């Protein structure tokens, strides 16, 4: 979508990767926001950057949506072929071709899991002053809604398939609205 078409494969340069992450995460959240508004849909997104920093978006909130989702999972015996139909065949096959490598990557990741577990909290910022203002207002509304819908949280284990295997390599910077 830029000056040049790019292959959907892991970005090697960690700097470029971070830039790409920031831009695309922003775009993803924007799309999610539009979806929730246009369709009155409830949406929750949680993302961990290549640097393992958490980011999230939710309407009415990540907790409410996730809780609702996990609560029904156990109940439904539905096939549960968890989406991702978005991923095209090409992309999927491409991913499959690297399965071996990815397995090793995942094993390494698993080994480092404990350390990473102590990650710093959510790194969220609002450089944009005007946005900060609006955010505060909306935050009030958010609290109000929470008071209405949120009650007890005791999420249960839920099994859920998925698609989209990736490698995890470097990390580095971040930022950008």
- Rg of the Cα trace of the chain? 18
Instruction: Name which of residues 65 to 124 contact a copy of itself (CB under 8 A).
Output: 65-66, 68-73, 75-89, 91-93, 95-96, 99, 102-103, 106-107, 109-110, 113, 117, 119-124
3-state secondary structure of 109: helix
Instruction: Name which of residues 8 to 27 contact DNA (CB under 7 A).
Output: 15-16, 19-20, 22-24, 26-27
Taking residues 27 to 46 in sequence order and writing x for each that binds DNA by CB under 7 A, - otherwise, the string is xx-xx---------------
CB of 110 to DNA, least distance (A): 26
3-state secondary structure of 76: coil
Which of DNA, a copy of itself, none has residue 114 at its interface (CB below 5 to 8 Å by kind)? none
Token pair in block for residue 136: 């505060």
Taking residues 115 to 134 in sequence order and writing x for each that binds DNA by CB under 7 A, - otherwise, the string is ------------x-------
CA–CA distances in Å: residue 176 to residues 18, 20, 87, 123, 153: 10, 11, 26, 12, 33
As beta bridge partners, residue 139 has none
């Amino acid at each position: 979508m830029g000056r040049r078409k790019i292959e959907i494969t892991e970005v090697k340069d960690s700097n470029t990767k971070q830039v790409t992450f920031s831009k695309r995460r922003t775009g993803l959240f924007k799309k999610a926001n539009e979806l929730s508004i246009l369709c009155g849909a409830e949406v929750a997104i949680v993302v961990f950057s290549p640097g393992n920093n958490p980011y999230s978006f939710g309407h009415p909130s990540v907790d409410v949506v996730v809780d609702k989702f996990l609560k029904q999972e156990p109940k439904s015996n539905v096939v549960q072929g968890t989406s991702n139909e978005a991923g095209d065949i090409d992309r999927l096959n491409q991913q499959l071709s690297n399965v071996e490598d990815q397995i090793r990557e995942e094993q390494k990741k698993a080994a480092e899991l404990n350390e990473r577990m102590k990650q710093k909290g959510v790194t969220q910022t609002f450089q944009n002053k005007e946005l900060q203002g609006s955010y505060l207002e909306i935050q009030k509304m958010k609290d109000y809604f929470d008071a209405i819908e949120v009650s007890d949280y005791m999420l249960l284990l839920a099994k859920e398939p998925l698609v989209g295997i990736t490698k995890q390599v470097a990390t580095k910077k971040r930022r950008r609205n």
